[in-house]
Structure 1
Amino acid sequence: MNKYVESETFELKEKYTDTIAKEIVSFLNGAGGTILIGVKDNGVVVGVDKIDETLRKISDIITSQIEPNPQDEISSELKFDKGKTIIAIHINKGLHPIYCQKKYGFSSVGCTIRIGTSCKEMTSEQIKIRYEKKFIDTEYMLKRRSHSSDLSFRGSRYTILKKGIV
């Protein structure tokens, strides 16, 4: 039995590909997880050949292809198994409500989430709800008390007439 198995928080990649940005965004929008590069889908370790180049490409994706910038939520490490080098990318659940691939923006294609062992596009409604949370803290707004004691329609009418808005 292989020691590496894909799950909701574990992704195996035989080699680096540009689709890794989608995987990172999916983990940021989900519960977080780990991507292992140098391990086939069936769990067989094949290793990574160009380690420095691969790490540089991953770093470039993190800093320039994902919005908002997730640098603080991601770390990488080298693991050694059966004499081969594996790159492990650890992704925490994002601190922001929503992340996307910059080239697609906050669309269904750009905003993905990890479900089971795959990345799924978020619905327009999911994106809208998460995107609004980025700007509005409804809990804070509901609990916050007003500094104005006269919160009536009469007070509003008086203010509107006084300022000549109507």
Structure 2
Amino acid sequence: MAGIRELVAGGETEKLEFKRSLAEKEEILRTIVAFSNVSGGTILVGVSEEGEVIGLTLNKGDLEDLENSINQLIEPKVYPELQLVPYNNKLILKANVNEGFNKPYLYKGACYVRRGNVTRRLDRDGVVGLLTRKATFDS
């Protein structure tokens, strides 16, 4: 896996998302679902959309709160690898998300996918398409 410098230099992609802070938890959870529904990816928290590493200020319980939200609000269960990474005297949260095998994955009952560098909510037809592709691969 590429280092933080290389990841940030390439900008956001279909498999890479930047978030400024854990205050963007809703967007982080949607992106975890989107990556699980498509081909996996990495979220870097503590990096602006423009690719500036701003770092994280963590309060007691912040990571535990994120992990609890992942476990309670995403169905079926996903298990992203959460890792705190020091970079230039700053701290970044790196979340590696694998493509899921039990699609569709939902956050608060809604299905999301990644298209380019954007996380999008699927409508009913999109969910049917995702299920159809899964059924084809399972056959």
TM-score (norm 1): 0.69
Residues 83 and 32 of structure 1, relative CA distance in 2, 3 Å threshold: same
Secondary structure, aligned partner of 1:49: coil
- Alpha-carbon RMSD across the aligned residues, in angstroms, is 2.4
Deviation (angstroms), 1:130: 3.8
> Would you say 1:46 and 2:54 are equivalent positions?
yes
State the match for 1:25 in structure 2.
33
State the match for 1:111 in structure 2.
111
Task: Indicate the percent of aligned positions where both proteins have the same amino acid.
Answer: 28
State the match for 2:96 in structure 1.
90
Letter in 1 for 2:39: A
Residues 134 and 90 of structure 1, relative CA distance in 2, 3 Å threshold: same
1:92-130 Cα offsets, whole Å, 9 max, x none, are 0111121001x2x2xxxx101001111112231231244
State the match for 1:162 in structure 2.
none
Contact 1:48-1:84 within 8 A present in 2 as well: yes
Letter in 2 for 1:93: E
Q: Following the alignment from structure 1 to structure 2, what is the Cα–Cα distance between the partners of residues 86 and 64? A: 24
State the number of aligned residues.
130
Residues 43 and 129 of structure 1, relative CA distance in 2, 3 Å threshold: closer
Secondary structure, aligned partner of 2:127: helix
Q: Following the alignment from structure 1 to structure 2, what is the Cα–Cα distance between the partners of residues 48 and 96? A: 32
Secondary structure, aligned partner of 2:55: coil
Tell me, which stretches of 5 or more residues in structure 1 are unaligned? 140-166
Tell me, which stretches of 5 or more residues in structure 2 are unaligned? none
Residues 127 and 44 of structure 1, relative CA distance in 2, 3 Å threshold: same
TM-score (norm 2): 0.82
Looking at secondary structure, tell me which structure has more strand per residue: 2
